[in-house]
Amino acid sequence: MRLHRPLGPAVALLLAAAGACGGPPAPVPAVQRQAVVGGVPEPGSPAVGAILPVAPTCGEPAEASPVLCTGTLIAPRVVLTAAHCVENVDAPQLLSVVFAPEPAHALPSERVRAVEGRLHPDWHAGAHDLGVLILAEDAPVAPVAPGMAALPADVVGRTTRVVGFGVDDQGRMGSRRSGTARVTAVQAETFSLSAAPGMSCGGDSGGPSFLELDGAERLVGVTSYGDLACTTGTNMRVDAHAAFVQAILDEVAVAPPTRPAFDPGVDACTAPCRSHADCPLGMACVTGTGGGKSCAVAGLEAGRFGAVCTGPDAGRLCVKAGEACRLWLPCSEEEVSGGGCGVARGSGAGTCAALLALTVFLSGRGPRAGARRGSTAAHRQATGAACRCGGGNGQRTSKS
C-alpha cells in the first residue's frame, strides 16, 4: 500500500474511535522511514503479525487498512506487543492481527480478530510498555515461546534480530522485514539497541527482538521507542516482565475467550449487555450517559441493524453484518438512556471521537488524522524519543 494513499473514511473513523471521552487517545506515530531500516524482506518469522484496524463499513476492503503496530504470537490466541499499541482498553474490538508477509495480500484465514487487550499494570509513557492482544480464535501459524529466562551476562555487544511491518524509504508500508541490531546497554526492565545495520522504525512498535541463545533464537525484547532517525531504540525486556506474560498465558490456556453467535435479527437497542464479552465478535458493549448498555458495531454508537444495503442511505451507514451489509440505525435516546459516550466511561475509553468522526464523514469532510493526539507525544516528552507505531496516511513528519 502506498504511503500517500488517503485513508478511507471508515478507516479514519476507526482510528478516531480508538481515542476516548476523557481517556487516552490512540497513539500517533511520528517516524516515517523504512520498516527495520537497513533490513531485508522477511518471508519467514510467521509468528510475527501486523496489527491493523478493521473497518466496520461495507466498501472498505481489509487490504486497505494501514499497519498500526507489530506483534508476536506467543500462544495460539495470545499476541505480545507494546502497551501503547493497545493502550485504549476498547481498541481490541476494532483490531485484527494479520499473519502474512504482506497483509495487503493476506488470505481471509490469515486475518484474526482480537477480542481483548491487556496492558502491564504499571505501564506509563516509556516504562513497562508491554501488552497483549487476545484473539477470537487460534492463529493459523505456530507460536514462538517468549524468552522468560534472564538475559545472559554477556549480552551487551551481541546482535539481535528485529522484525516488523512499517514504512519504507520509498513511502510504502505493510511488508514484514528483519534486520540485525546491536545491544548497547541493559537496564532493569529494558535494553538499548543501535543499528548494525538494521533498526526498528515506524510501524515496528510491539515487534520482537530475537537473540540467539544455546543455538536457538529466543524472543527477548519488544520494540517500544527510539530516535527519529531510527538509529537507536529501546526494547522492553521479556524476562523482566515474565510474571505479567505468564499470568495471561495461563489464563487464556484455561479459559479462552468466547463470544455469542452473531444474529443481525436481534434488536441490539433492547438487548442489554454488561461487557464486550456479552456481544458477538465485531460488536462492543456501549453505553449512554444514563448508564444503559447495548451491543453495537465496534467503533459506532448504539444502534440496531436495518435493511440490507449496498451503500449509505439517507445519512445512515452501511455496515458489515456477517456475510451481508445492513444499514446501521442509531437507537433512540430513551433506549440507551440518553446516548452520549459510546463505551462505559469506567473503562477508561469511549467513542465520542468516533461519533465526531462519523458526523464529519457524513457531512462529506474526511476526518484529519493529523488532528489526533496520542501516547507518542507523551513518550517524546518523557524520553525525547518516538514510539514506533505506524499510520500510513502520509501526513506525519520526521527528521529523516
Three-state DSSP class for residue 237:
strand
Query: CA 76, CA 144: separation in Å to the nearest integer?
Result: 9
| Residue that is last in its domain, among 198, 224, 254 | 254
CA 331 to chain centre: 28
In this structure, are 140 and 275 located in the same domain?
Answer: no
What's residue 170's pLDDT? 64
- Provide the residue count of the chain: 400
In this structure, are 90 and 132 located in the same domain?
Answer: yes
**Does residue 210 fall inside a structural domain?**
no
In this structure, are 66 and 126 located in the same domain?
Answer: yes
In this structure, are 139 and 274 located in the same domain?
Answer: no
Q: In b/e form, how buried is each residue of 143-170, taking b as 16+ CB within 10 angstroms?
A: bbebbbeebeeebeeebbbbbbbbbbee
The whole domain housing 284 covers 268-362
What's residue 268's pLDDT? 84
In this structure, are 308 and 249 located in the same domain?
Answer: no
**Does residue 373 fall inside a structural domain?**
no
Count Cβ atoms within 10 A of the Cβ of residue 315 and give its class: 0-12 exposed, 13-18 middle, 19 or more buried: exposed
Three-state DSSP class for residue 79:
strand
**Does residue 17 fall inside a structural domain?**
yes
In this structure, are 80 and 58 located in the same domain?
Answer: yes
CA 234 to chain centre: 19
| Residue 197: cis peptide before it, omega within 30 degrees of 0 | yes
| Residue that is last in its domain, among 254, 289, 321 | 254
What's residue 212's pLDDT? 92
Query: CA 297, CA 329: separation in Å to the nearest integer?
Result: 11
Tally of structural domains, the chain: 2
**Does residue 160 fall inside a structural domain?**
no
Please name the amino acid found at residue 51: I
Contact status, residue 386 vs residue 396, Cβ threshold 8 Å: no
C-alpha cell belonging to residue 136: 477470537
In this structure, are 24 and 109 located in the same domain?
Answer: yes
Task: Output the tens digit of pLDDT for each of the chain's 400 residues.
Answer: 222 222 233 333 343 333 322 333 333 333 333 346 566 777 789 999 999 999 899 988 877 788 999 999 999 999 999 999 998 778 888 899 999 999 999 999 999 999 999 999 999 888 999 999 999 999 999 999 999 999 999 999 999 999 999 766 666 678 999 999 999 999 999 999 999 998 888 889 999 999 998 888 999 999 999 888 889 999 999 999 999 999 999 999 999 988 998 998 888 888 889 999 999 999 999 885 557 888 899 988 888 999 999 999 988 999 999 889 999 998 876 665 433 322 222 333 333 333 333 332 223 323 222 222 233 333 333 334 566 655 433 222 222 2
What's residue 388's pLDDT? 66
Q: What phi and psi, each to the nearest 5 degrees, are found at residue 84?
A: -70, -10
**For residue 45, what are the contacts with CB-CB under 8 A and spacing of at least 6?**
163, 176, 178
Q: In b/e form, how buried is each residue of 368-397, taking b as 16+ CB within 10 angstroms?
A: ebeebebbbbbbbeebebbbbbbbbbbbbe
In this structure, are 249 and 274 located in the same domain?
Answer: no
**For residue 115, what are the contacts with CB-CB under 8 A and spacing of at least 6?**
92, 93, 134, 135, 136, 257, 259, 276, 277, 281
**Does residue 109 fall inside a structural domain?**
yes
What's residue 20's pLDDT? 29
Contact status, residue 341 vs residue 284, Cβ threshold 8 Å: no
| Residue that is last in its domain, among 254, 276, 302 | 254
**Does residue 250 fall inside a structural domain?**
yes
In this structure, are 272 and 133 located in the same domain?
Answer: no
Please report, for residues 10, 12, 355, 365, the alpha-carbon distance to residue 360 in angstroms, rounded to integers and kept in the order given.
Answer: 11, 11, 9, 5
Contact status, residue 200 vs residue 164, Cβ threshold 8 Å: yes
CATH number for 53: 2.40.10.10
pTM above 0.85, yes or no: no
